[in-house]
Structure 1
Amino acid sequence: MGTTLRALRALLLLAGFYLLGVVLLALLAGGDYLLYLHAPSSVTVKLTIVSVLLAIPLVRGLFMLRTPRDEETAGLPVTEADEPELWRTVRDLAEQVGTRAPSRIVLTADVNAAVSEDARLLGLLPGPRRLYLGVPLLQGLSEAQLRAVLAHELGHYSNSDTRLAALTVRGRAQVLRTITHFEQRADRTAAREQARQEKKNAKAEAKGKQAKEVDTGHAGVTYRAMAKIYIGYAKLYFRATLAVSRRQEYAADAAAARIVGRDATASALREIPVLDAAFGFYMGSYATLGSDKGLLPPHGEVFGGFARMLTARQLELSGLRTDLPTEPLSPYDSHPPIADRVRRIEELPDDGRADEARGAALDLLSAPERTLAALEDAVLTDEVRRFGRTRDWQELLDRSMAEALAADGTPLHGALRQYTQEQPTLPALLDVIEDGRLWQLAKRLPLSEEAAASEGRVFREFVRPTLHKSLISMALAELNARSLLRWEFSWERSAIPHLPPASDGTETDLDAVVGSAVADAPDTAPLRALLTHHDRSTEV
């Protein structure tokens, strides 16, 4: 479909939104007029008020002609003087694609690349262009793979996809906004009705009467009915526009394969979901390890450590490259399934370009370490930038784990505090266990109705997992406080706690030690031995 036809269809779909609103307003007005002619005055007034309330979101949607400008994506703008090799690569690819190069490149912290254009006259005239490039892609892709990603994005420019996005985005925004107005009004109506019924029940109970079940199913029904009408139009609108969006993705893939090569394009498509999953894991397990304690890794390492984790976990990640998503994320996902896109590219004839540009994409940056540090300053919030910085990752792990273990927030801590009326400590718990009072203490744990009603062995089996898990936390905290615990930082696996060795010199199995303490016939000697290890080790 050519640019003119796509623009015409986008305009018709957008006009359909306004036409739907006008038709619904006309129906409401017609209904009010018929009520005025034929219905009693009291009924007319009530239903006219309802129709006016329904008309408000319709009118607001019709007159919100200007779609709010999207917020600027957080990132680090780089000029040609900052990154000459990156700009040269982008300009070279734009020339091969046959399109105008972007006027601005912004580095982001997302596993994504995207293009935008501030087109005029609803996208009919071109405007300034921007390229958003995620630094995690630079860290995880080869230069050839990155060139394929860039060629794909620039391919959208050559097909006028970015210019016509203004029309499509405006229509989607208007429909969704109107749906939101109706649903919000329905929710507020339901909330008021629930409050009214609860207040009525409270008065009834105060008089000794039985309260009625709160039922808000009828509240806001007219608003929800109007929302459903627009939801139906939204489905039509999204399916019509997204079908074209998916064809545009196939076309951009084909452009990338033509310019950069079949193998580089297919491998880039395989790699991006892997990088996305890996980056999410990295941010959750490494970069934000100390965020709850107000700690960050050294400057430049918030994003800089990702490349090292990728290198260390290559074998672990390799299986993800063959397990590609075969379905879109939703029926309205603008991108076809990755598996289908890869299949189409790999079915192309071999072009003999498998060995081109195999170097790391990060080498395109003039000074990667400096750029990673500048990216932190650009995308982290002011609050996060005020966090303390550690010397290295090992210190971040040590301080984060020490503070986490010092918190006495396990269910066992709470139960022990209630039971002894004292500060919950591991030695105090061991005294309780050795006195044979563990299962009395366990009754103060947060229990399900089934667990609370059980007795004997059944009760013990219900609560034992909670006791076991909480006791491990207490043991680690106590060992850490006595400087008997050492954490091993690793990019290849989760952090490993190193405990004092067992009496025979072998590695201590904390799970077995704790299991003995919460057994039906408890044995606290192994755990006591761990706690006295420091005293034994310092004896002369």
Structure 2
Amino acid sequence: MQTQEKNLRYRAILIVALWLGFWLIALSLIAGLVWIPYTQIHFRSLNFSGALAAIAALSLAYALRPRWQKKQHANQVHLLQRDQAPALYALLENIAASLEIKAKVNIQLIAAASAYISPERNWLGQIRSLEVGLGLPLLSTLSERELSTVIAHEFGHFVGGDLSLGPWIYRTRASIANTVYDLDDSIFFLDLLFLSYGKWFLRISASISRSQEFAADALAAQKFGSAASRAALEKVHLIDPMWSAYLDHELGAALQRGAKVPIFDGFRRFCKPGIRRAEVIKSIQRSENTTKTEFDTHPTLAERIQAICPGSEPGMPPLAECLHLTGGEAATEQAWYQSWSQQEIKEVSWERYGVDVVQNQNSVRFSGSWMDPLKLSLSNLPDLAGRIDSLWEQLRPEGVSFLSPMGKRHYISSILVDWICACLTHYGFQLDYVPGKDLILRRDETTISPRELLEQAIESKLSAEYLQQFELTQDAPAQEPASPPISSTMNKEMFA
């Protein structure tokens, strides 16, 4: 404990010294620049160099100005009630007690594949309670002992004083970043000094943050064993890219459409092999291929495994689950849906999601517009695809747009895909929706991918005559009646 307190004092002194150093350099520069015109005016008339120095001093002072941020009214945090998950609360409180943590513990279920701990303080700065956030995928992929190592790791940050140092590091980082941004490409080259200092600070603060992670890992391994701690790290690293893509492209999209879908069942469907949509593939690859730098605040998985189990390399342990701590899969999902919003959403299975939600909203979206399938048939697709870039002015979103030419084309393409779906729905096709996979519409033995249809049209491989065969005829099967459209006005607060 004495060694831990000594390390905490050292880190705190270092961060404060870096913070003071930043302001000492800045104020000294301002004083030096102001001294030049002051001296010139005092002894003789102000010349060009003095005027330039005065402008530079004003520029630097403006860049260093305090950023008073308006306090936003935070959305009410809905915590997991104790009667909803008594076993999970008991687990956290036992771990806290073993670390001599006496503060009250509150739990919040979060959507990310991660965990966090946040202290709630009174006006004197004393800690009233600790809010612990636990990600849904942790409950569905980790064993109880592995989840315990994650919780112990987060409590380790609290015991080590890392939560007190965090604001110092954040504020210094923000001050340097704001100053460099305001001085960027200035004629006085003042940004170069602060950019160099900023890189030096980021390098040092990153090394401190990495040492904090190693210390928290060591505490978790000491409490629950290196095997469980290692397995938890490997599993989180394994599932995070897939879960993040699922959250962004499936679960989040369903919530925005006003649909309450089975969360864990959807993730299992999402992870099954198959041809995924292009944007889903890119999202997964982007998460998996993140390049590590010297400024990263977390060590690599390999480094963390080496520290816990010297001589070992990361593996792929079998997944488990500890949903019994929150009353099972259905109870956990219900608790999470209740935790972030009191808005009414409609419960729907993934089997019915495509027809009852996506198809319905696509049809409503184009109804009455110039792209209504009643007015603009699918046989017009080759013409639309041939002038896709010129459609921007007709289909652009409201307000100012900063999209690049490629971004504009992607935006128009997504609208055309939805319009193709609406046309095919009008012709009696039904959407076969599988989370993460490419959209497929079926009518009898005919299967169509709207995205592939658009790509072929852009490449001039489709004719209007070919597309006319899909249009609804007298003997074509009628579309299955669907439920009334679901509201799509959902907020995004739960994904922040």
Per the normalisation by structure 2, the TM-score is: 0.70
1:429-440 correspondence to structure 2 within 5 Å: 429=380
**Given that residues 327 and 337 in structure 1 are in contact (C-alpha distance below 8 angstroms), is that contact kept between their aligned partners in structure 2?**
no
SS at 1:531's partner residue? Answer: coil
Q: Which residue among 476, 498, 503 is the counterpart of 2:442?
A: 498
- Distance apart, 1:491 and its partner CA: 4.9
**Given that residues 290 and 397 in structure 1 are in contact (C-alpha distance below 8 angstroms), is that contact kept between their aligned partners in structure 2?**
no
For residues 47 and 77 of structure 1, the distance between their equivalents in structure 2, rounded to whole angstroms, comes to 57
- The AA in structure 1 aligned to 2:257 is L
1:113-512 correspondence to structure 2 within 5 Å: 113-117=115-119, 128-180=129-181, 182-183=182-183, 220-222=186-188, 225-289=189-253, 295-298=257-260, 301=261, 305-312=262-269, 316=273, 329-347=292-310, 360-366=321-327, 369=330, 372-380=333-341, 385=343, 389=346, 391-398=348-355, 399-404=357-362, 423-426=375-378, 429=380, 446=389, 476-482=421-427, 484-491=428-435, 493-501=437-445
For residues 397 and 81 of structure 1, the distance between their equivalents in structure 2, rounded to whole angstroms, comes to 35
**Given that residues 109 and 379 in structure 1 are in contact (C-alpha distance below 8 angstroms), is that contact kept between their aligned partners in structure 2?**
no
For residues 116 and 513 of structure 1, the distance between their equivalents in structure 2, rounded to whole angstroms, comes to 48
SS at 1:115's partner residue? Answer: strand
**C-alpha deviations, 1:443-496, integer Å up to 9, x for none?**
75548xxxxxxxxxxxxxxxxxxxx999987665433113x2122233584443
Moved more, 468-477 or 169-178: 468-477
SS at 1:60's partner residue? Answer: coil
Per the normalisation by structure 1, the TM-score is: 0.65
1:86-125 correspondence to structure 2 within 5 Å: 86-96=88-98, 98-100=99-101, 102-107=103-108, 108-117=110-119
**Given that residues 354 and 431 in structure 2 are in contact (C-alpha distance below 8 angstroms), is that contact kept between their aligned partners in structure 1?**
yes
- Distance apart, 1:529 and its partner CA: 4.0
- The AA in structure 1 aligned to 2:130 is R
Moved more, 140-149 or 486-495: 486-495
Q: 1:76 to 1:343 in 2, by over 3 A?
A: farther
**Given that residues 140 and 310 in structure 1 are in contact (C-alpha distance below 8 angstroms), is that contact kept between their aligned partners in structure 2?**
no
- Distance apart, 1:136 and its partner CA: 3.3
For residues 306 and 39 of structure 1, the distance between their equivalents in structure 2, rounded to whole angstroms, comes to 76
**C-alpha deviations, 1:489-539, integer Å up to 9, x for none?**
33584443213336xxxx689969997999789693x6444435652669x
For residues 228 and 76 of structure 1, the distance between their equivalents in structure 2, rounded to whole angstroms, comes to 45
Figure out how many residues of one structure are paired with residues of the other and give that number.
Answer: 436
- Distance apart, 1:347 and its partner CA: 3.3
For residues 462 and 74 of structure 2, the distance between their equivalents in structure 1, rounded to whole angstroms, comes to 63
Instruction: Verify: 1:31 aligned to 2:11, yes or no.
Output: no
- Distance apart, 1:121 and its partner CA: 12
- Distance apart, 1:311 and its partner CA: 3.2
For residues 512 and 237 of structure 1, the distance between their equivalents in structure 2, rounded to whole angstroms, comes to 52
**C-alpha deviations, 1:292-314, integer Å up to 9, x for none?**
xx63213xx4xxx3311333455
Q: 1:326 to 1:33 in 2, by over 3 A?
A: same
Moved more, 340-349 or 251-260: 340-349
Q: 1:118 to 1:227 in 2, by over 3 A?
A: farther
Instruction: Verify: 1:535 aligned to 2:475, yes or no.
Output: yes
- Distance apart, 1:396 and its partner CA: 3.3
Q: Which has the larger radius of gyration?
A: 1
**Given that residues 270 and 434 in structure 2 are in contact (C-alpha distance below 8 angstroms), is that contact kept between their aligned partners in structure 1?**
no
Superposed CA RMSD: 4.9
Unaligned runs of 5+ in 1: 187-216, 431-437, 448-467
For residues 111 and 299 of structure 2, the distance between their equivalents in structure 1, rounded to whole angstroms, comes to 24
- The AA in structure 2 aligned to 1:86 is L
**Given that residues 180 and 195 in structure 2 are in contact (C-alpha distance below 8 angstroms), is that contact kept between their aligned partners in structure 1?**
yes
- Distance apart, 1:175 and its partner CA: 2.9
- The AA in structure 1 aligned to 2:65 is R
- What is the aligned partner in structure 2 of residue 189 from structure 1? none
- Distance apart, 1:364 and its partner CA: 1.0
**Given that residues 262 and 348 in structure 1 are in contact (C-alpha distance below 8 angstroms), is that contact kept between their aligned partners in structure 2?**
no
For residues 62 and 414 of structure 2, the distance between their equivalents in structure 1, rounded to whole angstroms, comes to 53
Q: Highest relative contact order (Cα 8 Å, sep 6+), 1 or 2?
A: 2
SS at 1:116's partner residue? Answer: strand
Unaligned runs of 5+ in 2: 1-5, 275-283, 391-412, 479-496
For residues 121 and 137 of structure 1, the distance between their equivalents in structure 2, rounded to whole angstroms, comes to 34
For residues 280 and 360 of structure 1, the distance between their equivalents in structure 2, rounded to whole angstroms, comes to 19
**Given that residues 113 and 133 in structure 1 are in contact (C-alpha distance below 8 angstroms), is that contact kept between their aligned partners in structure 2?**
yes
**C-alpha deviations, 1:38-82, integer Å up to 9, x for none?**
664464784465145225336635xx8x99999969743235455
